[in-house]
A and B are shown apart, each in its own frame.
Chain A
Amino acid sequence: MNNMEHKDYTRIGEKVFSGVLPNGLRIKVIEKPEFVTGYAVFATRYGGAWRRFRLDGELIDTPAGIAHFLEHKMFDMPDGENALEVLAANGANPNAFTASDVTCYYFESTESFEENLRMLLKFVSTPYFTAETVQKEQGIIGQEIMMGEDSPGNRIYYNFLKLLYSSHPIRDEIAGTVESIAGITDQTLYDCHRVFYNPINMVLIVEGPVEAEKIYDIALETVTAECGTMPEADFGPDEGTVPHERFREEAMEVSLPQFLFGSKIKPEHGDLLLKQKLTATLSLNLLLGTSSGFYNGLYKKGLLNPGFGYDTDFSCDLGTIFIEGESRDPSAVFERFREAVKDVCENGIEESYFKRIKRALYGSLIKSLEDFEGVCLSLMDGMFSGYDPMISAQCLDSVMPGDCLDFIKENLSDDRLAMSVINPVKNGDAGNV
């Protein structure tokens, strides 16, 4: 019997199998017989920003950092073994991460893939915590939090989110604070596992030299939990599109001022979200890419260097644009950016330029298919957000210069921008804190 249906994407030479277990677990598989590496990710729609949620009508609050803490502790198994070690000893390359609205457990391996997959599905489905192991993990995560505090990249990022958002939990560190994780107990971990690690709230995606039906069978045998209730996050009131605050700066041990500016955007849903994502990337490439007047002008003046970059993020019912780099004069970069936006709004986008930037983006879409992890994570995002990332190339065709113009006008105007800066510590400041 065929439990997995497939869809062909001939233009990009891909074929994706999809299926759903009776308990609600959704599965996608891409068969790649010519490769030796297989990649699998088992993910739950539960991350650092899911601190307050609604279950069966009841509102529940949990400590900051709990989703990440749970991720660390999931590797402990009842028989005393550690799943990370078991997988690694079997030649696999396992790891996990917690983002603001997902937690992902994954591995890649070249041998015993099915055995490793069973292990992945088993350990993520089996909670096992004790007061003692929870306490020990507080030491390790405490060091991880300290490391984050010393990282200028981390600091500038959260300072920026705190400018954009006044109360949405995305503004707080995913790992929490040393104080907040002190409040976590084995019982809170069990409770959160029961609510969020339930098949209806999870997805499994596999790419590699595998057979889709076989993957389905393994999941059916291994993920035996019953279908639960879909939890609902409560991220608080809608924050609109105007930043909460505009500017924030801080001093750290860095060589040059670091800047991060951008805006928040109202995210679309489903297929429209895919188009919105592509429109956003294309718009930023048009405005700020390596062949743009903005980038080249500032580069020649010594105000930008190749570390300059930009990105978008769509998660937790939010959309955010990030534009970052280092510069002797972040406010000059910011001013020039405002002029570039104004210029596009007044003069529009040249057709030939648009075509060329679209070509380059098409090239990078093709390149992204080379990376199994990237492909699987984008499929995951699509499953949780209701769109199909494999039609990106077609969808890109449908984006017109006018779409980008509208996007820029709407989302990058003066009143929408906020900027976070980290300045170098001045001589004599160090150690006086």
Chain B
Amino acid sequence: MIFSRNEIMPGVALNCLTGDKFKTSLFTVSLLSQLTREDASSDAAVVSVLSRGSSSYPDMEKLSARMEELYGSGVNPTVRKTGEIHSVGFASYFPDAKYLPSGESVTGDVISLTCEMLLNPVTRGGLLLPDYVEQEKTVLLDRIRSRINDKRTYAVSRCIEEMCAFEDYGVSSIGEEKQAESIYYTKLTKHFRKLLSESPIEIFFVGSEDPDEIACRLSESLFTLPRGNINTDIGTDVRMNSVEEAPRYTEEVLDVGQGKLSIGFRLGECMEERNVAAISLFNAIFGGTVTSKLFMNVREKLSLAYYASSFTDVAKGIMLVNSGIDSSNYEKARDEIFAQLEAVKRGEISDYEFSAARAGLSSSYRMVSDSPQSLEGFYFQRMLEGEDISPNDRIEDLMNVSKDDVVEVANSVVCDQIYFLKGTEGSDNE
């Protein structure tokens, strides 16, 4: 698949991954803005309301029916958070013309439909419909509140929320309850108009059609897109140090059997001139894989947890360690996690651990080219970070990382927050 990128209108970029490898095409549109506590829920609500009805298809039945006619699964609202950049928009999958009975492409129709949803929502007196806004507000609030249902992801999001309480990164991609409660149709219409005219827009098409044809179709469909002062000053504030000298500790008790321990770290000074490959390798060796120190020791050797792993967000410069443990084992698990980090800091990395981590990462970059979704995801993130780099470049970078580079990253990492979701059972039984 060949990558190309062109600015088709002021602040509107069309990214194409062109080739006939896939049977299904993917089309996405994303409006970018700064993630803030005030606006996160409104951003998310806008695309939900837009997917309720457009001028030609004024309700969900008619919109869904139109997508069904186009053999598609729907034009689905998307909300993504990359560092502190918020992206909201639409995504749709639909079959390539080769696999349609008529042999005629539906790409043009899907593009028109998506653009119509974006530009011409159903309105009354120029305002988004109060009913739709109120209903989507409820759906959004339900979603925000429902994070408690899955304790594993709940603990992760609570840890980030506490750690980044003073940063916008602490806000989830769909925002917070308090701000969502104040959503109102008049205000939301204003917010929508502002997003539409000021957001940089990233469009992706993964499929067999020629980029020029896609660009042509888009220019027609986006003809009425208002373009004001494009907000190009969108980015992520990277905090290198912990908020307080010692890690902050937050504990929450819920009626659950298994405790969840989540530990937040700042990647620290290595973010000043970050080496993404070295950071990824550090994470893979420490806790990102089944050959990592956390998996091998916390789970396999000490049987303390069913899962114990780490992940990093290199855009924000943080790392999270997550595990599910018996609440009575809190100290044992916490100490073991820190002990394993210390081991990496001391350079105790075997050749095996190093090459295993590198093999795993290289493989995951190679796999990017094998699905429309992962291609879109990879290049989308690269565009947000302003990097002109392919998956193969990433693999090359990995080959140039030494053990010393990894140790340097490890020594730059600072623990900032410990979050413990305590089960009521384990602690009582002790």
Contacts and interface: CB of A to CB of B under 8 A. Distances in A.
Interface of A: 11-13, 34-37, 82, 84-85, 88-94, 108-111, 136-137, 139-141, 143-144, 146-147, 149-153, 252-256, 258, 289-293, 296, 299-300, 302, 305-307, 326, 356-357, 359-360, 362-364, 366-367, 369-371, 425, 429-431, 433
Contacts of A302: 135, 138
Contacts of A256: 142, 145-146
B81 to A, nearest CB: 19
Given A291-B68, A305-B143, A367-B73, A147 B99 contact: no
Contacts of B254: 253, 430
Nearest to B152: A147
Contacts of A306: 139
A370 B372 contact: yes
A108 B367 contact: yes
Interface in B251-283: 253-258
Given A84-B290, A93-B363, A367-B73, A147 B370 contact: no
B363 A326 contact: no
B145 to A, nearest CB: 4
A11 B24 CA distance: 14
Interface in B277-312: 289-291, 296, 299-300, 303, 305-306
Interface stretch (B115-123, B158-166, B242-250, B354-362): B354-362
Interface of B: 21-24, 59-62, 64-65, 67-74, 93-95, 98-99, 131, 135, 138-139, 142-143, 145-152, 253-258, 289-291, 296, 299-300, 303, 305-306, 324-326, 352, 355-356, 359-360, 362-364, 366-367, 369-372, 423-424
A276 B69 CA distance: 24
B72 to A, nearest CB: 6
Nearest to A425: B255
Contacts of B256: 150, 253
Contacts of B352: 89
A286 to B, nearest CB: 11
Chain B interface SS verdict (over half): helix
A253 B306 contact: no
B421 to A, nearest CB: 10
A128 to B, nearest CB: 16
A425 B74 CA distance: 35
Given A37-B370, A89-B291, A89-B359, A143 B258 contact: yes
B149 A143 contact: no
Given A255-B146, A431-B424, A13 B72 contact: no
B247 to A, nearest CB: 25
Contacts of A300: 131, 135
Contact of A147 (B67, B258, B359, B369): B258
A85 B300 CA distance: 11
B24 to A, nearest CB: 5
Nearest to A143: B306
A363 B64 contact: no
Contacts of A146: 257-258, 324, 326
A150 B99 contact: no
Contacts of A147: 152, 258, 306, 324
A36 B290 contact: no
B142 A91 contact: no
Of the candidates A13, A84, A137, A147, the one having the most CB atoms from chain B within 10 angstroms of its own CB is A147
Given A147-B152, A255-B147, 8 more contacts: A88-B291, A88-B356, A109-B363, A111-B359, A111-B366, A253-B254, A254-B149, A296-B59
A333 B203 CA distance: 38
9 contacts: A88-B289, A88-B360, A111-B359, A143-B306, A146-B257, A150-B257, A291-B60, A296-B59, A302-B135
A11 B99 CA distance: 7
B93 A367 contact: yes
A255 B142 contact: yes
A93 B364 CA distance: 9
A113 B200 CA distance: 42
Contacts of B306: 140-141, 143-144, 147
Contact of B362 (A91, A367, A429): A91
B171 to A, nearest CB: 19
Contact of B99 (A12, A37, A110, A371): A12
A360 B60 contact: no
A255 B148 contact: yes
Contacts of A136: 303
Contact of A367 (B95, B300, B324): B95
Contact of A360 (B68, B138, B143, B152): B68
Contacts of B299: 140
Contacts of B143: 305, 307
Of the candidates B131, B145, B258, B424, the one having the most CB atoms from chain A within 10 angstroms of its own CB is B258
The 8 closest A-B pairs by CB, nearest first: A363-B71, A91-B359, A139-B303, A89-B356, A291-B64, A360-B68, A143-B306, A255-B145
Contact of A85 (B146, B291, B305): B291
Nearest to B19: A34
Contacts of A139: 303
Given A35-B370, A140-B303, A150-B151, A253 B255 contact: yes
Contact of B95 (A290, A299, A366): A366
Contacts of A35: 21, 370
Nearest to A432: B255
Nearest to B428: A431
B363 A110 contact: yes
A159 to B, nearest CB: 16
A431 B60 contact: no
Contacts of A296: 59-61
B359 A90 contact: yes
A221 B219 CA distance: 58
Given A110-B367, A147-B324, A359 B135 contact: no
B360 A363 contact: no
Given A290-B64, A291-B64, A363 B257 contact: no
